[in-house]
Amino acid sequence: MKFEEAKIGMEVIWNGSTKMKGTITIIDTQDKSVLVVSDDKFFKLWFFDDSENPTFDLKTLKPYNSIQLTKKPPKFDIDLIDSKEFQSYVETVIAKYEKEFLPEGTCLTHVSIRKDGEIVVKDNSGKTGISKCHPDDAFNIEVGLQLAMKRLAERLPFIPKDGEEYYSILPTSGTVYSSVYYGGIFSDAFNKAMGNCFRTEKVAKENKDKIMARYENILKLAELNAVGDKG
């Protein structure tokens, strides 16, 4: 803290050789120093502005109230997890967004909610989706579950419908390509057969190596078939 901030009666914390909470009892304006008496009255220490001894420099003191204000309460009370009413509410929210985001045959098998507002969901194939609450935002469990399940859905196999945009890996270059799906177009039908259809560019990039390996296997199989035809 700065000398100008010091006031008689101010509670402070000192992180020196001994962590101490105390109160400023005397302010000496002549040498810009303050006397701090610990709460247990055991320590009576002087702290100086720009002290030659860094241990007793005023910069080592912090106003106690400012420290308390920086301690934000948890986003979520984890004791609620054991509440039947809360569990029922979570199940209702999950059922709502399972229908909206998850394909048939996919369901959640695990949901965890941390006190900092992070939500992790896992499906029956082991894939996960995670949402995090911004430190400055109020925690909303429905919004968090919705986002976590949406991110989980992005990682699941995607079968686009006609007229729906999707992302794929161009086998010839390994780059991500965006297009609109139509089952009557060979390239779209080929991508669907290869599992080369993704909801987002990010997920497509994550699957690049897998798609390129499939493409190489298809080429090898086609070459073997061509040799067999010649025979």
pTM over 0.75: no
Averages of pLDDT over runs of 10 residues in the chain (231 residues) are 88 75 90 89 85 80 67 77 87 91 88 92 93 87 93 86 94 92 94 91 91 92 76 51
For residue 60, the SS3 value is: helix
Nearest to 147 by CA among 115, 118, 183: 118
Hey, what amino acid is at 51?
Answer: S
pLDDT, position 112: 93
Q: How far apart are CA 150 and CA 60, in angstroms?
A: 47
pLDDT, position 208: 93
pLDDT, position 20: 81
DSSP structural state of residue 12: E
pLDDT, position 84: 87
pLDDT, position 69: 45
pLDDT, position 63: 86
Under 8 Å between Cβ of 91 and 85:
no
pLDDT, position 17: 55
Strands (E) located in 71-193: 108-113, 119-123, 128-131, 165-169, 176-180
